[in-house]
Structure 1
Amino acid sequence: MIFEKDPACRNIIEALTYPGLWAIFYHRIAHALHKAHIPILPRLISQFARIITGGIEIHPGAQIGKRFFIDHGAGVVIGETAVIGDNVMLYHQVTLGATGWWRPSPGRKQKRHPSIEDDVTIGVGAAVLGPITIGRGSKIGAMALVLESVSPNSVVAAKPAELLMKGGAPLEKHEELTQGWNGEMDYQI
């Protein structure tokens, strides 16, 4: 999968240095132990994997299909009830998370994280949150915040950054957004 998805990888030695490969390797072990109801060890394995992969955190309960690929990997978070299909690709800083606090009733596990169907690509920094479904063949663009289910073969994109000031002067169409900026502030929302 690495050779297919990343043209920068030229040989098996390079492939063995990819943190996404090690994250999925350790996840497969942790997930099998989790399914066998072995306590604590699956979480220890997932935390070890997080340390050696530069921050790829996959809960042992997450279900991940075949040919899953995480490119670059740093900062990826996949929650406990996430379900990921086959041939899915994530870029760095993707979160498959929940939208709130849930405490399931005794003996009942509640779905809190997204389901990602087959052949989906999720771009850099995207957050897919809640018990929603991203349909087969969809593409989620960089920095997108997805809170609702997406139909199969869809494309979701975040609004690109917009130039507010040029050469230190506010652009006329954005003067109301830049009032109070005197050039001394590093950052303002």
Structure 2
Amino acid sequence: MFGSLTKYLDSIRARDPAPRSRWEVLFYPGVLALGFHRIAHWLFDARLYFLARLVNHFSRFLTAIDIHPGATIGKNFFIDHGFTVVGETAEIGDNVTIYQCVTLGGTNPTNGVGGKRHPTIQDNVIIGSGAQVIGPITVGPRARIGANAVVTDDVPEGATMIGLKARSTLVPAEEWVKDFIPYGTPCDEPCEEAIESGTGRIGELEKQVALMKAELAAMKSDTEEPVPRSGTGD
């Protein structure tokens, strides 16, 4: 048990450069929330629903992280900071990283029957700050959900989703994705669609601005040309 805990804490240190020791990591809100969830989930599986909810509410009060006792969570799950919500039927794989203010939310069943209504997050997924992943969708292995993205459709393996409603960057992940990217969002140009010039959207916009400036300068010079005066006789 102690060995498993050590491996878990080391997995978090590999993703977070801030802590100086395992003791620091041990008191992270996300680590405490996961520990309480393990207890609550055990009680939930034993049909001790009231006790499971009691542990859940205490954990939420202490950590500002709300993980429903019914959620299924794999190994090395890391929530970096708080204010995160994980719904009842959510399923989370191994080595998943979630940043602050993320919701793994559910859809409201029209027939009033619960069923599977929260996302399935597969192994090695990173979900950036403020992202909302909604409904019984599947986020494939190694996918990255960018900050503030709203995801309501299945995400292919290795894809990076950005925007509202989230869209894939359509860049093969193996071309640039490292083993771990903080916040799930790379900051380089490969995140954007390439254009024929190869300079990307920003370069194209800069060209258009330069062209507009040149046209404005030409128009200004035309209006400033002196108007010849006509001679007058006595």
TM-score, normalization by structure 2:
0.63
State the secondary structure of the residue aligned to 2:24: helix
- Of the candidates 62, 68, 71, which is equivalent to residue 77 of structure 2? 68
TM-superposed deviation, 1:15: 1.2
User: How much has 1:98 moved relative to structure 2?
Assistant: 1.1
Query: Please, which of 108, 114, 124 is the counterpart of residue 119 of structure 1?
Result: 124
Instruction: Structure 2: state its 5+ residue gaps.
Output: 1-10, 165-234
**Which secondary structure state, in structure 1, belongs to the residue aligned with residue 49 of structure 2?**
coil
1:44-67 CA distances to partner (integer Å, 9 max, x unpaired)? 1011000110x1000000000001
Instruction: Structure 1 unaligned segments of length 5 or more: list them.
Output: 160-189
In the other structure, the counterpart of 2:160 is 155
2:90, 2:79 → 1: CA distance? Answer: 15
> Which amino acid in the other structure matches residue 76 of structure 1?
T
> Do residues 93 (structure 1) and 93 (structure 2) align?
no
* Deviation of 1:12 (Å): 2.2
Cα deviation for residue 26 of structure 1 reads 0.2
Can you list the C-alpha shifts for 1:150-172, whole angstroms capped at 9, x where unaligned?
1111000126xxxxxxxxxxxxx
Tell me if structure 1 keeps the 8 A contact 2:12–2:76. Answer: no
Which residues of 2 match residues 110-149 of structure 1 at below 5 A? 110-149=115-154
Distance 1:69 1:149 in 2: 22
The alignment status of 1:31 with 2:36, answered yes or no, reads no
Instruction: Quote the offset at 1:101 in angstroms.
Output: 4.6
Return the offset for 1:16.
2.3
Rounded Cα–Cα distance in structure 2 between residues aligned with 1:59 and 1:112: 13
User: Is residue 57–residue 77 contact of structure 1 (8 Å, CA) maintained in 2?
Assistant: yes
Larger helix proportion of the pair: 2
Secondary structure of 1:96's counterpart equals strand
Distance 1:75 1:83 in 2: 19
Determine if contact 1:88/1:120 at 8 Å carries over to the other structure: yes
Distance 1:39 1:110 in 2: 17
Q: Could you tell me how far apart the structure 1 residues matched to 2:72 and 2:142 are? A: 18
Local SS of the residue matching 1:77: strand
Residue 5 of structure 1: which of 4, 8, 15 is its match? Answer: 15
Larger relative contact order (CA 8 Å, sep ≥ 6)? 1
Measured in 2, the distance between the counterparts of 1:101 and 1:49 equals 28
Q: Indicate whether 1:56 and 2:65 are aligned.
A: yes
Query: In 1, Cα distance between the equivalents of 2:100 and 2:162?
Result: 16
Task: Give secondary structure in 2 for the equivalent of 1:40.
Answer: helix
Secondary structure (helix, strand or coil) at the match of 2:104 reads strand
Aligned residues: 153
- Aligned-CA RMSD value: 1.2
C-alpha contact 1:98 1:129 (8 A) present in aligned 2: yes
CA contact (8 A) 1:114 1:133 kept: yes
Q: Which amino acid aligns with 1:31?
A: H
Residue number in structure 2 paired with 1:82: 90
